[in-house]
Amino acid sequence: MIKPRTPPGIMELLPREQIAFQRMLDVIRRNYERFGFLPVETPVFELSDVLLTKSGGETERQVYFVQSTGALANAASSAEAGSDKSLPEMALRFDLTVPLARYVAEHEHELTFPFRRYQMQRVYRGERAQRGRFREFYQCDVDVIGKDALSIRYDAEVLAVIHAVFSELRIGSFAVQLNNRKLMRGFFEAQDVADPQQQALVLREVDKLDKRGADYVRETLAGPDFGLPAAAVERILAFVEVRSQSHADALAKIDAVLAEAGEGASESLRTGAAELREVLELVKALGVPESAYCLNFSIARGLDYYTGTVYETTLLDHPQIGSICSGGRYEDLASHYTKSRLPGVGISIGLTRLFWQLREAGLIEGIAESSVQAMVALMDEAAMPQSLDIARRLRAGGINTEVQMEPKKIGKQFQYAAKAGIRFVVLAGEDELARGVVAVKDLLREQQFEVARDELASTLQVELEQARAMAR
């Protein structure tokens, strides 16, 4: 006997947990589509030379390579036979961005630009297995890709998408934190930190502010490895601690950065400030409440990838969870695959990790009511045809229905329905059938009532809609 066990780094759920997870997927998909985004799926594996074009180092060490013994054997046989065909090496995708770049480059002349796509699929990373870190997980991405240029207005729309998704998920108050990489680059240049690699190192240390404290960051930046002047270090620390409290405050803080730079403000700083202002004004016009967004000048995301607006979304009452959605603007999505310039903006929700974190924090129970809404009990063998007919009518009326296929004591049937999370149990004994009615046991309200067979489906629909209204 082989002991059954799940591979490390995998989140495997029981059915009712899976329903809760699936409903989160449904909310995300529904809101992506409300904003006019189209679904795309790409293969779970890509040709490794395509997938790894823009990666290296740590990323490549986390990639799962695909090896098929049979395919390799066939390739070896072909080689022995003198064929020059070789088996292409493949690897599992580690995110959805590189496959998107390949997809857009490959289908460029078949797509309509700006290309608005969403993608919700599993990705794979060979990370060290630990609590809350997964090797297989869902990413839910949405991106707008332009041809040659893409208006900054889409950056505001993407923020509105984030707000719509997390408002409907109802997991607590949240804020989308905004920054702009051009603004950051311009600020660092003014502090004589102009080299992109040096900027990356400085931001890596700044990112330790919350964990190690300002004194540690101050000593590091002023130390021999960086050697920044004390005055520059203080200005950097003051800059990355900027947070806005309202829409007007956000605009004022952008103006303050420009005022401090004065006439010497670089083009990068001015452009970044202008883009941030436009995004903020459009976000307000899109109806996103001021409490749902703010400036955070410490956000950088990937220095080599993002070029303009960057986003991170956090739960206000549970900051320890970290970012629940992130993304930003990039200048050229597919430069390794096409000569066309394809700028874009997008965000990603790592749903597997988010679901796990929310469940650990007690923000969702992780157990949903069953997707089965009603169960037709079987009183005795003679009632089987009638039970199947009742179930058929319920399904035709839009009620997900299960039928007990073997007669059991009614108490055991109630226990089964309760454990399975089924709300309604439909009973049709001889007396009910003779009167053209059925009895319904509502396990949620712990009540029983009778209803005409022809009105059963519509009656249960009303009950379910009332429950949904109360949940909203």
Residue 365 lies in a domain: no
- Residues 343 and 386 placed together within one structural domain of the fold: no
pLDDT tens per residue, range 215-270:
998 999 999 888 889 998 999 999 988 999 999 999 999 999 999 888 888 999 99
Q: Is the pLDDT of residue 72 over 50?
A: no
Domain encompassing residue 384:
374-471
Same domain (yes/no): 98, 21 = yes
Name the one residue in this structure whose structure tokens are 């719509």.
Answer: 164
Is there a single domain that holds both residue 421 and residue 460? yes
Q: Tell whether 17 and 156 lie within a shared domain.
A: yes
What pLDDT does 201 receive? 85
Question: DSSP readout, 275-325?
Answer: HHHHHHHHHHHTT--GGGEEEBTT----TTT--SEEEEEEETT-GGG--SE
Question: Angle at which helices 214-222 and 196-206 pack, to 10 degrees?
Answer: 150
Domain boundary, last residue among 272, 290, 311: 311
**196 shares a domain with 150:** no
The answer to whether residue 307 sits within a structural domain is: yes
Residues 281 and 397 in one domain: no
Residue 73 maps to a domain: no
Domain assignment present for residue 68? The answer is: no
Question: Do 292 and 195 belong together in one domain?
Answer: yes
Q: Are residues 214 and 284 in the same domain?
A: yes
Q: pLDDT band for position 360 (50/70/90)?
A: confident
Cβ atoms 380, 196 nearer than 8 A: no
Closest CA to 231 of 240, 223, 222, 241: 222
Which CATH number characterizes residue 9's domain? 3.30.930.10
Cα separation, 322 vs 93, in Å, equals: 24
Instruction: With 0.75 as the threshold, say if the pTM is over it.
Output: yes
Q: How far is 60 from 45, CA to CA, in rounded Å?
A: 14
Last residue of a domain, one of 359, 390, 416: 359
pLDDT at 87 over 70: no
Domains identified in the chain, total number: 3
pLDDT in tens, 415-442: 999 999 999 999 998 899 889 999 999 9
Domain identity same for 164 and 290: no
pLDDT in tens, 23-57: 999 999 999 999 999 999 999 999 988 888 755 55
| Mean of all residue pLDDT scores within the chain | 89
Query: Does residue 272 sit in the same domain as residue 389?
Result: no
Q: Are residues 21 and 156 in the same domain?
A: yes
pLDDT in tens, 375-414: 999 989 999 999 999 999 999 999 999 999 999 999 999 9
d(CA 212, CA 207): 9
Task: Evaluate whether residue 88 is within a structural domain.
Answer: no
Kind and range of the H or E run holding 15: helix 15-34
Is 84 inside any structural domain? no
Do 246 and 132 sit in the same domain of this protein?
no
